[in-house]
Amino acid sequence: MRAAGHRFAAGRNWLGAYVAAYLVFLYLPVSLIPLFSFNDSIQAAFPLQGFTFAWYGTLVGNSALSGALSNSIVVGVAAAAGATLCGTTVAYMEIYGRSPLAQAVSMISRLPFLIPGVIVGISLLIFVNLLGFGPSRLAIVLGHILVALPTSVLVMRGRFASIPRSMSEAALDLGASDWVTFRRVMLPLSLPAVGSAFMLAFLMSFDEFIVAFFLASTEPTLPLYIWSQLRFPKSLPTVMALGTMILTVSFVIAGLAELLRRRGLSQMTSRPAPAGPFKP
Amino acid sequence: MPQDALLRLEAVSKCFPGGVVGLDSVDLDIEHGEFLSLLGPSGCGKTTNLRVMAGFETPTTGRVVLAGRDITSLRPFDRPVNTVFQDYALFPHMNVAENVGFGLSLRRVPAAEQKKQVAAALDMVGLGDKIRARVAELSGGQRQRVALARAIVCKPRILLLDEPLSALDAHLREYMQMELKRLQSSLGMTFVMVTHDQTEALSISDRIVVMNKGRIEQIASPAALYDRPATRFVAGFIGTMNLLDARFVGRDGALLRYLSGDLPLELSADANALATDGQMHTIGIRPEDLVANPQAGAATAPAKINSIVFHGRALRMHASTAGGAALVIDAPRQAMQPAFDVGDIVHVSQRPGASCVILAA
């Protein structure tokens, strides 16, 4: 018994070391960016030279940067709106409608996960040129809807599937048509997930580079702006400062999205309040 | 065919994808104002039957006729029928009043009238003070009553209840059984309840439909079901019953005489019951209709007691006959003089005046 317990403890130590190594591998490279963004040197190298906010100062009043930022926000909001709308309808039809066609559509819409970004970028470039409007913000929006759609479908599908079937049946039973059932019961019950899907889609668009690279005209998005700045060694610290801001915002949005996704899930699965003393 | 039944199922079958048979040619008439229970083990088709009535499942073949009108292909929202769900299915984003008023709001009932009817429905189920409460604040029993109010406020022609009491504890369940019965008779509404609990079905139903493997085994009043089960399945499902293979040995006026091993049995027959000498039947007899005598008599068969179980007012003895048949005998406790012990040989007879039944396979 004793030996077995010992072996178990040793196993736990190994597991702890493995998890630690895994976390370092995941986050150490990323954590270098905030670290160097406060470093009082133009070189991204050790030893650190001292603490400064100067690089953050260079972000203010940079018109190319603020233009790229507003482009990214406009594209992100538009793409997130499109992806959330499509994702919600596709997922709802799969879970609620249960027709083989709806299931096939849902599967196809989750497929872009597997297509390399370069391929998506090139094919969309050809496509928008054929359509006639060519590279533009609209083209990026379309590309980003495609990129974000799988996530929206997955988030919404998870939520719709977690709502007991009796919920929509109760609405139908009480006289609600399919549309009223969706509008008054199923949609309100999945609103947190809609918010979550929207935020995740926005984030995917906001951080996306390859598709935007192929489809951008003269109005770059933020990742494209960063890419363009990497040619100038002296703007590297500014890029680090910008990268730190983006990281922070991304973490906050992703955290909020996860909170929203979980919210209301407990509401539906929770047990009734304890019965209390029995009183006829 | 007379069209006086409120709801009629005509040869309704339901096959699910993958070849699972949910309902197998079910014929059923539901009368105005009755409390009907669909009873059976899980997977017997009772819930599928209810869902066909509600419109959640479309029959593969057969017709559903409500008050003379074919509603087979109508969607749930077009049927004047409402359901109380097993998990209650209250809308968590609405308060009690909004839940109960949901059906009325869809029927374009004026707001003032809605308010009045919602309050009346909640009063009827004893939750008048919870009208503003959130669903999450309610106990299981209260949720159940909100679900009831939400359905009856729509004044359905038939109220369907899917295992409505299964989630409640024993005390509350017994109380709610009486509540359901009271509501049903005061509203004069037709209730159809699915349950797997025979005690529940026996105590509140006017008629019980016993189902097994997608088919109806028997439709009868609780007393008739208990006294005269038609099939082996019903006999085994409702209470405890000895199922004995017995040989027909003769008719004595209105009495049919059988012999199961050495044990003589008699049953009062319908005039048209036909049996020929030597024919084998399965005979059902309740434990309380068997008597364990200390001495052998003219119409007794010896059996050895294998176990004695305390059953409140009675002692339940499990015994086996010389022929190997297992018997369950309930003996009133005060009558157990002298007391029997495990291993004793007793002489079993049919209680005078008690009848047994012939069971179909």
pLDDT digits (tens, 9 = 90+) for A64-96: 888 889 999 999 999 999 999 999 999 999 998
CB spacing of B76 vs A169 below 8 angstroms = yes
Residues of B in Cβ contact (< 8 Å) with A270: 136
Q: Per the structure block, which two tokens stand in for A100?
A: 């083989």
CB spacing of A268 vs B107 below 8 angstroms = no
> Model confidence at B352, in pLDDT bands (50, 70, 90)?
confident
CB B243 within 8 A of CB B231: no
Report the percentage of chain B scoring pLDDT > 70. 96
| B310 touching chain A per CB within 8 A | no
The answer on pLDDT for B339 being more than 90 is no
Instruction: Choose the mutation target among B71, B85, B107 for the interface with A, i.e. most A CBs under 10 Å.
Output: B85
> Model confidence at B335, in pLDDT bands (50, 70, 90)?
low
**A120 vs A128: CA distance, rounded Å:** 12
**B220 vs B201: CA distance, rounded Å:** 11
The whole-angstrom distance between B177's CA and the closest CA on chain A is 12
What is the ipTM for the molecules in this complex?
0.85
Instruction: Choose the mutation target among A159, A162, A174, A189 for the interface with B, i.e. most B CBs under 10 Å.
Output: A174
Neighbours of B254 (CB within 10 A): 12
| Residue keyed to tokens 């009856």 | B152
The answer on pLDDT for A6 being more than 70 is no
Q: How far from the centroid of its chain's Cα atoms is residue B342's Cα?
A: 35
What is the rounded radius of gyration, in angstroms, for the C-alpha atoms of chain B?
Answer: 25
Is the domain spanning A63-266 CATH 1.10.3720.10? The answer is yes
> DSSP characters for B161-218?
EESTTTTS-HHHHHHHHHHHHHHHHHHT-EEEEEES-HHHHHHH-SEEEEEETTEEEE
The whole-angstrom distance between B175's CA and the closest CA on chain A is 7
The answer on pLDDT for A45 being more than 80 is no
Residues of B in Cβ contact (< 8 Å) with A275: 139-141, 169, 172
Least confident piece of the model among A158-162, A272-276, B207-211, B249-253: A272-276
Residue of A39, A165, A189, A156 whose CA lies nearest to A87: A156
CB spacing of B83 vs A164 below 8 angstroms = no
Cross-strand bridge partners of residue B210? B39, B218
> Model confidence at A271, in pLDDT bands (50, 70, 90)?
very low
> Model confidence at A189, in pLDDT bands (50, 70, 90)?
very high
Question: Mind listing the domains of chain B with CATH numbers?
Answer: 7-231 (3.40.50.300), 240-359 (2.40.50.140)
CB A80 within 8 A of CB A202: yes
CB A209 within 8 A of CB A223: yes
Q: How far from the centroid of its chain's Cα atoms is residue B33's Cα?
A: 17
The phi-psi region of residue B331 (left if phi > 0; otherwise alpha if psi is between -120 and 50; otherwise beta) is beta
> Model confidence at B184, in pLDDT bands (50, 70, 90)?
very high
CB B137 within 8 A of CB B90: no
> Model confidence at A277, in pLDDT bands (50, 70, 90)?
very low
Q: Per the structure block, which two tokens stand in for A89?
A: 């309808």
Least confident piece of the model among A36-40, B177-181, B221-225: A36-40
Long-range contacts of A54-63 (CB under 8 A, 24+ apart): A55/A237, A55/A238, A55/A240, A55/A241, A56/A241, A56/A245, A58/A237, A58/A238, A58/A241, A59/A238, A59/A241, A59/A242, A59/A245, A62/A238
- Which phi and psi (to 5°) does residue A271 adopt? -75, 160
**B342 vs A1: CA distance, rounded Å:** 46
What is the rounded radius of gyration, in angstroms, for the C-alpha atoms of chain A?
Answer: 24
pLDDT in tens, A91-128: 999 998 878 898 898 888 888 878 888 998 999 999 99
Cis, peptide link before residue A272, omega less than 30° from 0: no
| A167 touching chain B per CB within 8 A | yes
A166, A176, A278: residue with CB nearest B85: A166
The answer on pLDDT for A267 being more than 70 is no
The answer on pLDDT for A144 being more than 90 is yes
> Model confidence at A1, in pLDDT bands (50, 70, 90)?
very low
Indicate the burial class of A253 (C-beta count within 10 angstroms; 0-12, 13-18, 19 or more).
Answer: middle
How much is the average pLDDT of B61-84? 94
> Model confidence at B273, in pLDDT bands (50, 70, 90)?
low
CB spacing of A167 vs B143 below 8 angstroms = no
A174, A189, A267: residue with CB nearest B102: A174
Q: How far from the centroid of its chain's Cα atoms is residue B188's Cα?
A: 20
> Model confidence at A7, in pLDDT bands (50, 70, 90)?
low
B106, B142, B172: residue with CB nearest A175: B106
CB spacing of A278 vs B106 below 8 angstroms = no
**A211 vs A72: CA distance, rounded Å:** 13
Residues of A in Cβ contact (< 8 Å) with B137: 273
Q: Per the structure block, which two tokens stand in for A269?
A: 């699965």
| Residue keyed to tokens 């980003």 | A144
| Residue keyed to tokens 């014929």 | B27
> DSSP characters for B266-334?
EEEPPTT----TT-EEEEEE-GGGEEEESS--TT-EEEEEEEEEEETTEEEEEEEETT--EEEEEEEST
CB A143 within 8 A of CB A121: yes
How much is the average pLDDT of B208-219? 94
CB B192 within 8 A of CB B34: no
The answer on pLDDT for A269 being more than 60 is no
CB B139 within 8 A of CB A272: yes
Tell me the residue type at A53.
Answer: F
- Please give the mean pLDDT across all residues of chain B: 89
The answer on pLDDT for B63 being more than 80 is yes
Tell me the residue type at B343.
Answer: G
The answer on pLDDT for B209 being more than 90 is yes
**A113 vs B163: CA distance, rounded Å:** 44
Task: Report the predicted TM-score, pTM, of the whole model to 2 decimal places.
Answer: 0.82
